[in-house]
Structure 1
């Protein structure tokens, strides 16, 4: 028999009884690292947190499909970078191919997680393997009117989104904080 698990719901801002979408099965998607440098505390905290949850869900009898993505392309340093990717920049500075940087630091990340006794996820997809899906999602957002194009880039239109939905509901931030 499954034990009751209370989990914090960010949307309702309250603890709620956990009920999986499919009986006895839990899907868990966790944002993993961008692999262009060594793992640090910011990588360790979510890995340990979700490792504990993963183990606990298994312990109380759930079959868990734990997905942790690897960002290996397309992660800008900050808005002012005019499109420079963190991995491409690291590769240029070290005179390597971008995927050499990715493989080296992904191996280092896995070693760090192993040293912390963090279990590997069930699946670890790379962003570069899902470019077609990402392009389609951007097209869908554009088609729904929640994004616009400017000088070759696509931007999410938070003002337009906020007219129909409450932008910042999960984060607790209001639109004035982000514009």
Structure 2
């Protein structure tokens, strides 16, 4: 094995880090788009909830709403608002304060080239910054994924509760 064979080590790691960083950025864009979709859909659902509430109270027609229907519609509104909050947080999640403890960092730190190399080297500095960026994005993406999942479940719950409200009112009027 020649002495120059080890010279490729930092470039291989930098390429790997660049791929990871690009992947995390793409995931961030996808999750943000998902959160946007959830928020817009829930806003539409809340509009429908308010329309159903207006139907239930039916001021002009003087319907007497069933008490259970009113309670269910109020629950749908509360769940919808909670979903909006989770979706909005997923959209506006600030960068996480994450460390640089990644498997790649541990692997890189154990390589002879990095152990014997000057930490002030430009490649080492670039690699360290990429590690930090990956760690921050990865942590934020995990949190964003959790918020999106919570918002999606809230969206489904809002639809289910709203459907139940309509069914209860129809049964009550029958």
Q: Which one has the bigger strand percentage?
A: 1
- Higher RCO, Cα 8 Å, sep 6+: 2
Give the alignment's TM-score, normalised by structure 1.
0.22
More helix by share: 2
Larger radius of gyration: 2
